[in-house]
Amino acid sequence: MGYVHDTAMSQFIGPDEMLNSAGTWTATNASNVWFARRTAANATWVTKIPIRLPQNSAAYKGSKLVSIDIWYDITTEAMDAVAAVLYKATMGADGATCAVAAAVTTSYDTGHDAAGERVDVDQHKMTLTVTTPEWMDDGDEWYVELSGDGGANGVFDMYGARANFTLRV
């Protein structure tokens, strides 16, 4: 029987799998590339990026999340703020509520570690690296909350994300 320990796995997460709050978001296609466009508005919003990877109840099996890449464009005008936080929520047993989600410590790549780098008019590939990668338990939900505050004329386009992980099965 075989054994897999692959440290170079990845899973793409399309904009259609994400949840967007506040504002007008439109599924858009340009040159056969799909993305979610947030209409310009001087207001805050949050996008939930679900991290759906194989999980396991046994220790050191399944997926060990290492980093998340997020692709987005800001056009017309810089945003007032853009930030990303990785969360882990432990699901409750039958009859119990879900635990409060806890932030997981991450760091931004060098091109996005300053707030001004995340909000400028540009095409962005932002990477969040998990400080202490851990194996994903079958009772947890993992997701990134990408929050922003738009400039009055700034348009935000979300192209997708990619979870990078080690797979052990």
| Whole-number Å distance between alpha carbons of 168 and 129 | 20
Going by C-alpha positions, the residue among 65, 117, 45 that lies closest to residue 36 is: 45
CATH number at residue 151: 2.60.120.260
Sequential DSSP letters for 104-153: EPEEE-TTTSSHHHHHSSEEEEEEEEESS--BPBTTEEEEEEEEEE--TT
Enumerate the H helices of 41-85 as residue ranges.
Answer: none
Contact in structure between 123 and 109 (CB atoms under 8 Å)? no
The reported pLDDT for the residue numbered 28 is 86
The reported pLDDT for the residue numbered 1 is 55
- Can you list the residues of the chain whose pLDDT is less than 50? none
The reported pLDDT for the residue numbered 85 is 97
Contact in structure between 54 and 62 (CB atoms under 8 Å)? yes
The reported pLDDT for the residue numbered 90 is 85
Going by C-alpha positions, the residue among 123, 29, 148 that lies closest to residue 71 is: 123
The total number of structural domains in the chain stands at 1
The reported pLDDT for the residue numbered 77 is 87
The residue range of the domain holding 142 is 5-168
The reported pLDDT for the residue numbered 150 is 80
Neighbours of 44 (CB within 10 A): 14
Q: What angle do CA 66, 89, 27 make, to 5 degrees?
A: 75
What distances in angstroms separate CA 47 from CA 18, 80, 135, 164, one per listed residue?
A: 7, 16, 24, 19
pTM of the model: 0.91
